[in-house]
Amino acid sequence: MNPLFQQPLKVVNAGLAGFAENLKQAQGDVIPLQWQPPAMGNIQAGLDLAALIAHPLVEQANQIAFERYLSAQPVLVDVMSAAEAITAMQQRKLILHSGPPIAWPEMCGPVQGAIIGAILFEGWAADHQAAERLVLDGQVDLEPCHHHQAVGPMAGIISPSMPVWVIENKTNGQRAFSNFNEGLGKVLRFGANNDEVLQRLHWMKQELAPALKQAVRQLGELELKPLMAQALHMGDEVHNRNAAATGLLIKRLIPALLSSQLPLETLQRVMAFITGNDHFFLNLSMAACKAMMDAAANVPYSSMVTVMARNGVNFGIRLSGTGEHWFQAPANAVEGLFFPGFGVDDAAADLGDSAITETAGVGGFAMASSPAIVKFVGGTPADATNNSRRMQAISLGGNPAFTLPALNFAPTAAGIDARKVADRQILPVINTGIAHKQAGVGQIGAGITTAPMPCFVDAISALAKTLPAGESA
Amino acid sequence: MNPLFQQPLKVVNAGLAGFAENLKQAQGDVIPLQWQPPAMGNIQAGLDLAALIAHPLVEQANQIAFERYLSAQPVLVDVMSAAEAITAMQQRKLILHSGPPIAWPEMCGPVQGAIIGAILFEGWAADHQAAERLVLDGQVDLEPCHHHQAVGPMAGIISPSMPVWVIENKTNGQRAFSNFNEGLGKVLRFGANNDEVLQRLHWMKQELAPALKQAVRQLGELELKPLMAQALHMGDEVHNRNAAATGLLIKRLIPALLSSQLPLETLQRVMAFITGNDHFFLNLSMAACKAMMDAAANVPYSSMVTVMARNGVNFGIRLSGTGEHWFQAPANAVEGLFFPGFGVDDAAADLGDSAITETAGVGGFAMASSPAIVKFVGGTPADATNNSRRMQAISLGGNPAFTLPALNFAPTAAGIDARKVADRQILPVINTGIAHKQAGVGQIGAGITTAPMPCFVDAISALAKTLPAGESA
């Protein structure tokens, strides 16, 4: 005991602030404990959490779900129209959007603008007013991409004639889809819907997609996990930064395109479009992540998060053990840097399906691989490695397919465990672009945000109710 | 004084080992000082070093040389045959090799093999024996690339009909040249000279070089420093790893090639060759570095190192203040990993002009940007950042054009000061491939080596002799 009392005392006060007063008056060094009760202090949720923690059914289910996620082999196998890929689109006028379900009147500006644009693009209406009337009359169904094995960045709009990437998980044969990336500037995903935007979408459908379909056929199949893994060693986190991954994709596409018998002018336009857009790979990354997470879905009792997505108003998550149910809460603010002339008052709420990358252990979870992104969103490389390390505390394990050079090639933290999020009060970190709240203005910044805690607390309570009778709290 | 004597004493012994005996017997904690006298303990060299350190003429000269290096703007401007670019080749049978000057009988296997290959490629002789006779009869001049503003990796062979990249430093109008990268496997730069090698060289001359000449014309000019800077943020150190830089180059070349009116078959072969070789950018990186270092050359009194190069036997350096003089010593061993089936006995000595990259502050000096390379050569990411930090101790400054994300975007250490190397006993670190000692076997490993100290000590003494009378030691 002697050495303890020979050094100056450092006291941690875990009780009421008043407990520390006497010590402070005696010049003592007192640090108040930064502690909040788990599950946001909600007593029922706390009991639900206690029922789930270390529960053998949950532990076993998580092992199965995590193993299915790890063993997924997402492969680019085809390019199709959305209507070919998504059968529901063959039966009714259906437009998909990002995030959890939301009704037209509640949607944010960029999503409404993008839906109007998609209706014009499909030729279902001749002008904006007619397009909006169609929606208000209930003649167009609006549903989440995630309800149809699909994902889309920002507004995430997918309409029947748009081309989609077709990703197949070779382990279970299931497919996932995403739209094509339009580049920066005035684009549908930020709610722009003028002639420039619609003409680009028509060109993508008529020239880009058929060319890429031929190239993919030429390639046979393209395994996406090794490509993403390589990009993680080249400064990408394959969410907000895809410069290396796009380059690696281009290296694979060029020889295939050059042997595809396409006219030279087509090749020129296709390659100019792809080489001019460092985000081109993003939608492939998202669809690959969707395929990995769908593999882990629907394992009863599993507390593994399989979806995180934003519709510009609410943030929604799904757990493996609660199937298709969404747990939603208002989206947290984005902390980041704004482009000159814009500020926080101009920003739409957090938006897009792209948080599927964080759900799959890349993006913000792999930030240590992408110091340049941290600088872009206003942090330091040390923040990046700290974020990647912190995510280990809320994850089921590491993904050895995705390693981080800056952490001595440690695997990325992967498989978010909703129990750990609620218990440890550490929120999943998400890299994101910031959209202007008005349709069509476009990206006005980038930053880091978190998934909101109520989603996880509600999900925990719902999962606890699925436990065999008498076991839930 | 009290606190010092209240804690257990830790003693550093800076004198004879015997001084520490008493303390050790009294259970004292004694650390012997790891110290060697500067300039390898050579008294005259030590005096020369003392004369140069903090000498105003040297300080001023280094500032000028370093500023010229920093302000160099190497730009890819053309593709030519070596004979077009290097006037001496128009007057006589001249073949260039890597490193400092060396006579035929002393050359290592790979360099001799590559020279024989170049003679056959030029059609100066019909077979190996005739080619060797030509050399022995003195009918072919063998000179360092560096004597002709050129650089080449490994054997570094440049003969008149070979194509070269033409790099121009836009700041002073001077040019630098390097040959084209042949890829891996059986290649001339490792001393292979069979039909496969010669046929590839003919194809590179007849189809690849004209295509790239057209592409470069189409591009106008391509600034190399920003491209290298970007690659440093993508896991390259642009010496042993050029995967990202090659990808960035490809992104620039494709649109230019597609609008160059070349036959489709040519485009297919050219793109297959370039996309199949992650080292394709290396020779451009080297020529860009050569242009930067030539800018700093020939500043009287400057102790800045402008060349480090290896001929497979000796390592040679040049200082700015001693102009074209080479300071040579036997090359240090390479510490690294060997490919399966090979070991240290199979290795040629350190070889090639590629250490121009380290001389220019990238390569081993920028290792912190390329943890994957450190793993490849048998180290850890921590070694990488340590190497990059250690090089700051022997450099004139940092190059703000080249920043290292892992060191919070600190500039790379650049401008090796021969005084600091000799004084601080820290050798410049070099990333390198390991060639088999027999011609044509190829690369058998990769590792890290250092420039040998005697080069720097001799250079210091020679530089001291250039000081105004009465000022040298």
pTM summary value: 0.90
Q: What is the C-alpha separation between A228 and A167, in angstroms, rounded?
A: 14
Distance, in angstroms, between A151 CA and closest chain B CA?
A: 27
Rg, chain A, Cα only: 24
Q: What is the C-alpha separation between B439 and B157, in angstroms, rounded?
A: 13
Given a cut of 80, whether residue A6 has pLDDT beyond it is no
Given a cut of 70, whether residue A1 has pLDDT beyond it is no
The Cβ of residue A335 has, within 10 Å, a number of other Cβ atoms equal to 13
Q: How far is CA B316 from CA B106, B224, B352, B357, in A?
A: 15, 26, 11, 15
Q: Where are the domains of chain A?
A: 2-32, 43-69+297-465, 74-286
Given a cut of 90, whether residue A26 has pLDDT beyond it is no
% of chain A surpassing 90 pLDDT:
76
Would you say the C-alpha torsion B397, B401, B406, B408 has a positive or negative sign?
Answer: positive
**Which of A246, A249, A251 best probes binding to B when mutated, by most B CB atoms within 10 angstroms?**
A251
Q: Which residues of A are less than 8 Å from B409 in CB distance?
A: 371, 375, 381
Contact A258 B235 (CB under 8 A): no
Q: What is the C-alpha separation between A232 and A221, in angstroms, rounded?
A: 21
Low-confidence ranges of chain B (pLDDT < 70): 1-5, 34-35, 470-473
**Which of A232, A254, A380 best probes binding to B when mutated, by most B CB atoms within 10 angstroms?**
A254
Contact A332, A314 (CB under 8 A): no
The pLDDT tens digits for B215-243 are 999 999 999 999 999 999 999 999 999 99
Given a cut of 80, whether residue A68 has pLDDT beyond it is yes
Q: Which A residues, 313 through 372, put their C-beta within 8 Å of a C-beta on chain B?
A: 371-372
Given this structure, which CATH class describes domain A43-69+297-465? alpha beta
Given this structure, which CATH class describes domain B73-286? alpha beta
Q: Which residues of B are less than 8 Å from A255 in CB distance?
A: 268, 271-272, 275
Query: Which residues sit opposite A434 in a β-bridge?
Result: A445
Q: What confidence score (pLDDT) does residue B135 get?
A: 98
Q: What confidence score (pLDDT) does residue B90 get?
A: 95
Q: What average pLDDT score do residues A79-97 get?
A: 97
Contact B222, B337 (CB under 8 A): no
CATH 3.90.1700.10, domain B43-69+296-465, yes or no: yes
Q: What is the C-alpha separation between B260 and B217, in angstroms, rounded?
A: 9
The reply to whether A254 touches chain B by the CB within 8 Å rule is yes
% of chain B surpassing 70 pLDDT:
97
Of A29-38, A250-259, A449-458, give the lowest mean pLDDT range. Answer: A29-38
Q: What is the C-alpha separation between A67 and A62, in angstroms, rounded?
A: 8
Contact B255 A264 (CB under 8 A): no
Chains A and B form CB pairs within 8 A to the count of: 85
Query: In terms of pLDDT, which residue wins out, A89 or A25?
Result: A89
| A-chain residue closest to B270, CA distance | A255
Contact A371 B264 (CB under 8 A): no
Give the domain A74-286 fold. Enterococcus faecalis V583 fold (3.90.1710)
The pLDDT tens digits for A187-236 are 999 999 999 999 999 999 999 999 999 999 999 999 999 999 999 999 99
The pLDDT tens digits for A291-315 are 999 999 999 999 999 999 999 999 9
ipTM of this complex prediction, to 2 decimal places: 0.86
